[in-house]
Structure 1
Amino acid sequence: MKELIPTHRDNNGNILVSGRDLHKFLEVREKYTQWFERMSEYGFAENVDFTSLSEKSEKPFGGRPTVDHAMTIDMAKEISMLQRNEKGKQARKYFISIENKYKQSQLDTTNLSPELQMFNGLFKALAKNELATKQLDSKVDSISEIVAVSTKDWKNETNHLINKIARQQGNTGDAHRTIRTDIYADVDRRGGVSLNIRLTNLKRRMALEGASKTKLSKVNRVDVISQDKKLIEIYMAIVKEFAIKYGVWKDQY
């Protein structure tokens, strides 16, 4: 099998991938450090999913640039999928093939004794791998569903995702308000707008047109967003990113 992206093993046999090698293969135009920082916001934890490397760090990849990261193969697969392009799909399939080859190699070289201990260990390993695979598949399927959310019924779809995020944060009123506030702040920043000012202006126009106080009290920032196609796209992208970042699939297993 042709080596598309180098992989390495640590002392515990875990498969590691250099962040810079993956960044290069994916042909990301964004600077590596900025790209990795943004990718890390999707729920990845240092010393769990990746290890930061520097000139003073032990270098499992040999001589590397000053800043690099040793990622687990699971993290590398998820990041590849998040690119939403052909290079990302190619990288993810490649990592899956590497992982499958490694698992097969582990089974082929099992050499435990006595015989009962060997079979006991083998069954435990298979059970553990099966559980991990099912959990990862569930996570991948959930992320795919989030990414696939369309603009056809964007209000209900995004509201559904926000409710899932809130459940992960305790499902309280404060959780809902905090999440929506953070999302609207990101919309302001990315869209170069002020949703609060637009909301005030919208209510003023509606009042001049004779809207009732009850109707005015129900108008919110989502109504403002609905009047601008660009803001709808920005809002949907941000909600999807929050849903992935907060791991809305975690209550499924």
Structure 2
Amino acid sequence: MIQLVFIQKGQAVTDSLTVAEAFGKEHRRVMQDIRELPCSDDFRLHHFVQSDYTNGQGRPTPKYLMTEQGFTMLVMGYTGPKAMEFKERYITEFHRMREKIQTTAVDTSQLSPILQLLIQQEQQQQAIMQRQDATDQRVAVIQETILQRDDDWRDKLNGMLNGAARRSGGVFRDLRKRSYEMLESRAKCDLNRRLRNLHDRLRESGATKTKISETNRLDVIEADPKLKEIYTTVVKELSIGTLT
């Protein structure tokens, strides 16, 4: 499960990459939605901040950081059961992060200048550690999604597809492609888009090029229990359909 909200400069925020991942949208589309929001310049200035991440070509690529209010404005138009589920999760996470920030707030206005300086330095150090912790957590979630593979499940499905290809005189690669197309049709999903989003998340988290290149559609499918269930059914149907 991805971390939806994180703390930056003492404020609970999320970013456009995380929103794209959560709502199953292309990152460029989320960026476009933000740019086209019919909000005032003052609202945009206070609730959306453009930042950068490194893309697959090693070039800095824009993304947006956004506050809770900015997020709320952005996702008003996102509909559907899954969209509602993630809206609720985001609301819960923003609330949790606000409470976390409030419990650590300290009034330093009555302290001596030296103590204020020491506290400020400590807070800056804590902010750095919090950002690192948030990054580590996001990396851990992504690594868990990719590294904890169900090899038995993959071997079983590959075996069924290989058997079906032999019986039908076809090619395994073509049958695999057909299985993905059937999954996308039934689950109303775009595997390529989900894979690109996952690659972006991995790059932002500092994953190696080897790890990114090894990530494939099966990783996307296995990370979503619903897709995994539907895909298993699809492969079984293809296998049974070639039996004589």
TM-score range, shorter chain: 0.3 to 0.5
* TM-score, with structure 1 as normaliser: 0.34
Q: Which has the larger helix fraction?
A: 2
Quick check: which has more Rg, 1 or 2?
1
